[in-house]
């Protein structure tokens, strides 16, 4: 499994919004500058969040984005599943029921299910607040995503 630039940048953007949630609505330009990301690329990521309850938006001179929930209500897993589609190591694990004709006797299926569970459990166990707290505890540590 490899997380795309879209997923990594979306996570960085939401972490930035969480860090600046007390500032009201934050423009993409500000996020892009602080995160050293392309504003145009962030503009391509934002539509993914329009259909969800992730962000609040405000138009106009004081416009921008802010989190719709508190940072402890966002998990890394849900953010990455929204931007990446799936976090499963193989496609058959996403199917219910599994459509593969070999699934009944597949000796590797339990491996892929276990790996998918480990990935999802791990990423669903980390919230934006956890990331903010970790940064406060050890600001010298490079938390690269």
Q: Across all residues in the chain, what is the average pLDDT?
A: 91
Pairwise pLDDT comparison (102 vs 79), residue with the higher score: 79
Give yes or no for residue 135 having a pLDDT over 70: yes
pLDDT band at 118 (very low <50, low <70, confident <90, very high): very high
Question: Number of C-alpha atoms within 13 angstroms, CB side, residue 88?
Answer: 13
pLDDT band at 142 (very low <50, low <70, confident <90, very high): low
CATH entry 1.10.10.10 includes domain 5-137? yes
Residue 100 confidence (pLDDT): 78
Question: Which residue from 8, 126, 22, 137 is spatially nearest to 74, judged by alpha carbons?
Answer: 126
Q: Report, in this order, helix, strand and coil percent for the chain, each rounded to 5.
A: 55, 10, 35
Residue 145 confidence (pLDDT): 60
Residue 105 confidence (pLDDT): 82
Helix (H) or strand (E) holding 137: helix 128-137
- pLDDT, one tens digit per residue, over 2-25 is 899 999 999 999 999 999 999 999
Question: Which residue from 28, 3, 24, 2 is spatially nearest to 13, judged by alpha carbons?
Answer: 28
CA 94, 85, 3, 13 dihedral sign is negative
Residue 74 confidence (pLDDT): 97
* pTM exceeds cut of 0.75: yes
């Amino acid at each position: 499994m490899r997380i795309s630039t879209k997923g990594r940048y979306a996570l960085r953007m939401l972490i930035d919004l969480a860090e600046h949630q007390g500032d009201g609505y934050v423009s993409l330009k500000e996020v892009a500058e602080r995160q050293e990301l392309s504003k145009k690329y962030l503009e391509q990521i934002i539509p993914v969040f329009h259909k969800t309850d992730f962000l609040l938006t405000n138009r106009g001179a004081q416009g921008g984005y802010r989190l719709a929930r508190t940072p402890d209500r966002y998990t890394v897993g849900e953010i990455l599943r929204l931007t990446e589609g799936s976090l499963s190591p193989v496609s058959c694990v996403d199917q219910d029921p599994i459509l593969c004709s070999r699934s009944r006797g597949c000796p590797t299926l339990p491996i892929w299910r276990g790996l998918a569970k480990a990935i999802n459990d791990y990423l669903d166990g980390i919230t934006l607040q956890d990331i903010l707290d970790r940064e406060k505890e050890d600001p010298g540590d490079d938390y690269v995503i």
